[in-house]
Amino acid sequence: MHRRGVGAGAIAKKKLAEAKYKERGTVLAEDQIAQMSKQLETFKTHLEEFASKHKQEIRKNSQFRVQFQEMCATIGVDPLASGKGFWSEMLGVGDFYYELGVQIIEVCLALKHRNGGLITLDELHHRVLKGRGKFAQDVSQDDLVRAIKKLKAMGNGFGMIPVGGSYLVQSVPAELNMDHTVVLQLADKKGYVTVSEIRDSLKWERERASHVLDHLLKEGLAWLDSQAAGEPQYWLPALFSELLSRDVTPEEANQMTP
């Protein structure tokens, strides 16, 4: 640890350095840090003023939240980095997204045994809204996406796979490479995919197609219907739209509370 030396020589040296810097018109880092403290207090006041007028807007208006987030990103600020940040403490943005994070984790956990840890953003949105009740604040898909991005920090395999104009949300650390992703995208239209379809659309050899499908089966992301007319069909429960209406069973609900 570098400690500033004490003693006449060190003091003299420091004075000289300060003088040199002031001469060139630059300010020492330590002076700037002291100054930053004051500037921070001023900024805090502005933020408090803003909060007193518009805190409601952030909570109620998802469009406003998007604007807010994008502006923060543009200037290089992450309002969700810490619950101890000003943004979180004064605007309450933190609690909104962190609580959403909890709800997302719980929904994914409850449905994992059904869909292997893969769920469409639509279904996730639907279930989260249901779980929040009629009078909770509105939550948009943009809100979910931002909350999920934050969850990634906890290393549990949270990720988003672009599929059919929206996303599949992955909540398990299953290895999914480009091949798997492309097959998922192919399956999006009908909820299932066959080896022939993969060979026709993607021009892969049988080996490669089987390998990818086997991996999805092993990870519990796909189910095999070997009795389908024609050839076996690989279904993705994450893409089942009928499942959307089925409520979570009591056993699944138990999974939700850690």
Partner 1 sequence: MDRFVWTNGLLEMNETLVIQQRGVRLYDGDDKAKLDVGVVLLSTHRLLWRDQKNHECCICIPLSQVIFFEEQAAGIGKSAKIVIYLHPVPENKEPGPYQQSKYSFIKLSFKEHGQIEFYRRLTEEMTQKRWENTPVSQPIPTGTTPKAARTRAVGIVGIERKLEEKRKETDKNISEAFEDLSKLMEKAKEMVEVSKSIANKIKDKQGDITEDETIRFKSYLLSMGIANPVTRETHGSGTQYHIQLARQLGDILQAPLEERGGMMALTEVYCLVNRARGMELLSPEDLVNACKMFESLKLPLRLRVFDSGVMVVQLQSHSEEEMIASALDNVSDKGSLTAEEFAKLLGLSVLLSKERLLLAEKVGHLCRDDSVEGLRFYPNLF
Q: Does 112 bind partner 1 (CB under 8 A)?
A: yes
Q: Does 25 bind partner 1 (CB under 8 A)?
A: no
Binding segment for partner 1 (CB under 8 A), chosen from 66-74, 180-188, 201-209, 244-252, is: 66-74
Cα(205)–Cα(196) distance, integer angstroms: 10
Q: Does 223 bind partner 1 (CB under 8 A)?
A: no
Q: In sequence order, what are the residues at sequence separation of 6 or more whose Cβ sits closer than 8 angstroms to the Cβ of residue 29?
A: none
Site for partner 1, residues 77 to 96, rule: CB under 8 A: 77-89, 92, 94-95
b/e map 187-203, b = 16+ CB within 10 Å = bbeebbbbbebbeeeee
The helix (H) or strand (E) run that includes residue 50 is helix 29-60
Site for partner 1, residues 136 to 155, rule: CB under 8 A: 136-137, 150-155
Q: Looking at 21, 126, 202, 240, which residue binds partner 1 (CB under 8 A)?
A: 21
164 versus 220: smaller Cβ distance to partner 1: 220
156 versus 166: smaller Cβ distance to partner 1: 156
Q: Does 48 bind partner 1 (CB under 8 A)?
A: no
83 versus 241: smaller Cβ distance to partner 1: 83
Q: Looking at 66, 129, 202, 217, which residue binds partner 1 (CB under 8 A)?
A: 217
59 versus 126: smaller Cβ distance to partner 1: 59
Q: Give the residue ranges of DSSP H helices in 61-194.
A: 62-75, 86, 93-115, 121-132, 141-151, 178-187
Cα(193)–Cα(233) distance, integer angstroms: 6
Q: State the DSSP string of 190-216.
A: TSEE-HHHHHHHH---HHHHHHHHHHH
